[in-house]
Structure 1
Amino acid sequence: MRWTLRPFTSFERLRLRRAAGRFAGHGWPVTPGAYLAGRRFACDRAGCPTTGCHPADEHWERTASADPARIRRWWRRRPHAVLLATGHTFDALEVSAFLGLRVLGATRLHAGLGSTPPRVRGPVAVTPTARWMFLVRPGDPLRPELEERLDVVRHGPGSWVPAPPTRLPEGPVRWMVAPHECRWRLPDSYAVQAMLVDALGARRPATRALPRRPSTLHHAA
């Protein structure tokens, strides 16, 4: 599907600011990302070579915040992407659409049977490039079965993920499971990872031959 990019309006900037404020209101630290200008991101940092989605502040790890006044100031003039800083309140497990669909499908099937373990239900965001991000409780490393996979990335300290309604060149980031649907509760990381391992049992991966990349989200165009 091809998306037609539109210029940002004041209303969209307010939407981004309100979304950032909602996350902050639940203790989720946010940082402003570069803003979309055509099909590339701009951050007003002199000489910045990154054209993909990235933090607008060079020192974002120190300045990421849940302070409402700071958030209002950040989104006062620019339609910044809303980036959630991981490794504090939550981590994010970024996976392929194949794995994301299987895990969410299994969770909903068990919910229909009245047997969904509450520790696996949590917010899930999806990028327009079909990367699924399961927000989980922080601190747990990847299980050995997932650690060397190219299609599974754990975002912990020093990392971030884009949050809805951030718009990427390919389209908007959206919630597959919005935080309010699970009352802003975060699932146990190892419980979600166990479901990912189960999903992998349905398909044997090819032998890994490429170096591991940190994420498909964090790269320069």
Structure 2
Amino acid sequence: MLTCDHVAAGYGRTAVVQDVSFTVPTGTTVALVGASGSGKTTLLRTVLGLLPLRAGTLTFEGTPLTRVRTHQRIRRGMAYVPQGQQRFGLLTARENLRLVADRYGAAGARRLDDALALFPALPGLLGRRAGLLSAGQRQQLAIARALISAPTLLVLDDPTAGLAPSLAGETQDALASIMRQGDMSIVMAEQQAGFALAQADSYVALVEGRVLSRGEAGADAARAVRSALSR
């Protein structure tokens, strides 16, 4: 689905990500773990084309992405939920979702219902302006909106960061359900390695923009990664 081969990226003259390689097989989840400032967000923004690729190659479903713009990557099946994401704050939550769902007709309506079923609190908030929702509610709304587009690759940047415990738990449950279905490939960046490594198929641990370790996810990986990142 996605291949990152010796990728380098950054801002201005500052190199943030250097020589990062990993693959995302179809229908699997890859967790990017590391502390704040480790390069996770920079790497994800580069995958989406929001930052230029300085070195290496990115390939999506067999197609090199060097000349593919962000909106074209989205049309080809990517969806991105950045941390703290908020769109159309003056519109209601329902209107935010319908903006996406209406593009797909009856299929969009079904996907909207399926997305709402993942987040128990959202149906009761549909009439509220998105800008008045809590951070956790906005994050759930953003994930639901991304799911309506039926992406083949879902890119999540710290989806539970800064959320109240109850909403973080609900969001984690929804994401775990999505991963179990295996209908899409997922790249999920997380500072908290425990949840990501428990749910993902594989992981890449970053430190100062470089790969510290990679491998299969799971309980053993979680212990090893937490120990390595704490050094």
Q: Which TM-score bucket, shorter chain as reference?
A: under 0.3
Give the TM-score taking structure 2 as reference length: 0.23
Give the TM-score taking structure 1 as reference length: 0.24
Q: Name the structure where strand makes up a greater proportion of residues.
A: 2
